[in-house]
Structure 1
Amino acid sequence: MSVEITHRTLAPRVVASVRDTIPTYRDEGLLWQRLMSALPAAGARPAEGGTASATFHDPEPVETGPDVEVQLDVAAPFTGSTELACVEVGEQQVACAVLRGPYDGIGEVMEALGRWIPEQGLTFAGPMFTIYVVSPSEDPDPSAWVTEVCVPVAPAG
């Protein structure tokens, strides 16, 4: 697979967030269910044209018990609760690669990012996250999924 990588700036945003340890990466949908059911009670609503993303907080991939945070852009700040946090995400410099198709290609994309980042005079500056451009909730066919795999970066040195 050919991996195209870009360096770009992501604008600040306000998100609804649910973070937890889940049994496996395949169980991420449980966090999305919790987030979507908690939105109305919090008085939060999704932002027009906003993004859905997931941050993977473990320093390395794990077989079981990953620490995952799902985020959905919201139209305005809201008062968080024990179930749903309101988080202001600042502007971010990221290295970003697009994965087209099923998520089992993420390992290859991360390897490419791991080579590209130092070649550009950059260093890792935070946990990897994905932005779901076309997600399973929008199309159940894995060949239609489009995922941006992003890593926060900073100048090396």
Structure 2
Amino acid sequence: MQQILRTPDPGVRAALVTDHLQRLEDALDRTRAAVVSLRRLLQPDPAPIDVELRAEPARTVAAVEAVVGHDDIATWYAGAMAELEAAVGDAVTGPPGGSYDNALFEQERGHAVVYLPTAAPPRTGRVHPLTLPPAELAVTTHIGEHDGIEVTYGELGTWVVENAMSVAGPVREVYVVGPRDTSDPAAWRTEIGWPVFRVT
């Protein structure tokens, strides 16, 4: 604000005010999104979520893995995915995905994997072949930005408790449509797979 008041040039002053206004509007948008997420946590939508029980076979992918802190996951993911895309190139055979240990959510630090499916996973830098074990999963789709994904996790966790037997194991995500596919967050689709034990 002091810089705006000290600037004698009206054109520069207008540009500073515009920049400041944009920052305030961006902060307001983030606050509104947080309020919507918190309201959904307090008063969840009564409509049931769509859940599909899936048996995922074992498969080998190109992966980057590390033990990371919860606060560092977004930065780590961006770097790991860029490295994967550079290593795999056009040989990708499906959407990217991730696997995240429960400790990452419960203790704020845990093992994380991001991967790209490819017929011949390379070994270069941090990228290496990794075999994802077979898994029985309860799968739902989170629609839109990732800021509110914890609400979808909560809804899926409730469904698992009420309808299936949860087992220890990492949660899996598949980024069916994401920021690399479209800049429109409303079009993003993230599948969340919760490990379960099925008898039927």
TM-score (norm 2): 0.64
Residue in 1 aligned with 2:73?
25
Higher helix fraction: Structure 1 or Structure 2?
A: 2
Confirm or deny that 1:154 pairs with 2:179. no
| Deviation (angstroms), 1:134 | 0.5
Indicate yes or no: 2:110 matched with 1:61.
Answer: no
Shift of 1:9: 1.5
What does 1:64-83 correspond to in 2, within 5 Å? Answer: 67-76=111-120, 78=122, 80-81=123-124, 83=126
- C-alpha distance after superposition, 1:86-117 (max 9, x if no partner): 01223321011111100122111111121111
Q: Give the whole-Å Cα distance in 1 for the aligned partners of 2:107 and 2:160.
A: 25
The corresponding residue for 1:92 is: 135
Give deviations 1:2-38, integer Å, cap 9, x for gaps. Answer: 5222211123322000012265232221110121223
Q: CA RMSD in A?
A: 2.6
Larger Rg: 2
Instruction: Compute the displacement of 1:133 (Å).
Output: 0.7
- Partner residue of 1:45? 91
Alpha carbons 1:25, 1:66 under 8 Å: kept:
no
The AA in structure 1 aligned to 2:101 is H
- CA separation in 2, counterparts of 1:63 and 1:154? 24
2: CA distance between counterparts of 1:69 and 1:82? Answer: 15
Query: Could you give the per-residue CA deviations for residues 117-136 of structure 1, whole angstroms, max 9, x where no partner exists?
Result: 12223113311121011011
Length, aligned pairs only: 150
Higher relative strand content = 1
In structure 2, the gaps of 5 or more residues are: 1-44
One-letter code aligned to 1:7:
L
Q: Tell me the equivalent position of 1:140.
A: 183
Answer yes or no: is the 8 Å Cα contact 1:130–1:148 preserved in 2. Answer: yes
Q: Normalization by structure 1: what TM-score?
A: 0.80
Query: Structure 1, unaligned stretches of length 5 or more?
Result: none
